[in-house]
Amino acid sequence: MEKSSKIYISAVGGVIRSIFITLLVILIFSFVSTKVSFSEGITNMVILVTTLLSVMYGSIYSSRKSGKKGWLNGLLVGLLYIAIFYIVSLIDGSSGNLQLRDIIRVILAIIVGTLSGMLGINI
């Protein structure tokens, strides 16, 4: 297998795992929020933390799977995850306007993904 294609394949695997983690946490949070009322700030924080932990896990998995260029694996996982997150938000009916919190979420996902990818190579 070509070296660069292995990076992309492992990044896609990392994104799939990240999305699975996100869906699982959001499902649990949705169930809990039917019983307990949360403010919008708490909900936004849960989404942000879930996003970052999912990107972290996916980036570490991806870089360990490819065995090289962890920063690139993490960057790809972060970018692909956020792109999918944004597309799903658009399909869900969200406006296409990026707010400050969305821009911060994108920047954090890229940074966390890149750093987690480097961490995944070294552990």
Res 80: pLDDT: 94
Per-residue CA distances from 22 to 1, 36, 47 (Å):
30, 20, 9
Q: What pLDDT does residue 5 have?
A: 76
- Two structure tokens written together for 79: 């970018």
In b/e form, how buried is each residue of 59-88, taking b as 16+ CB within 10 angstroms? Answer: bbbbbbbbeebbbbbbbbbbbbbbeebbee
Q: What is the pTM of this model?
A: 0.87
Tell which residue, 50, 63, 65, has the closest CA to residue 18.
50
Residue 98 has phi, psi (to 5 degrees) of: -90, 125
* Residue 3: per-residue pLDDT: 61
Work out how many domains the chain is built from and give that number: 1
Counting every residue, how long is the chain? 123
Taking the C-alpha atoms of residue 105 and residue 17, their distance in angstroms, rounded to an integer, is 19
Query: Going residue by residue through the chain (123 aa), what tens digit of pLDDT does each one get?
Result: 556 677 888 889 999 999 999 999 999 999 999 998 888 889 889 989 999 999 999 999 999 988 888 889 999 999 999 999 888 888 887 776 778 888 888 899 999 999 999 998 887
Q: What is the pLDDT of residue 69?
A: 84
Which residue range(s) make up the domain with 88?
3-122
Structural tokens at position 91: 């399909």
Closest alpha carbon to 86 in 29, 45, 47 = 47
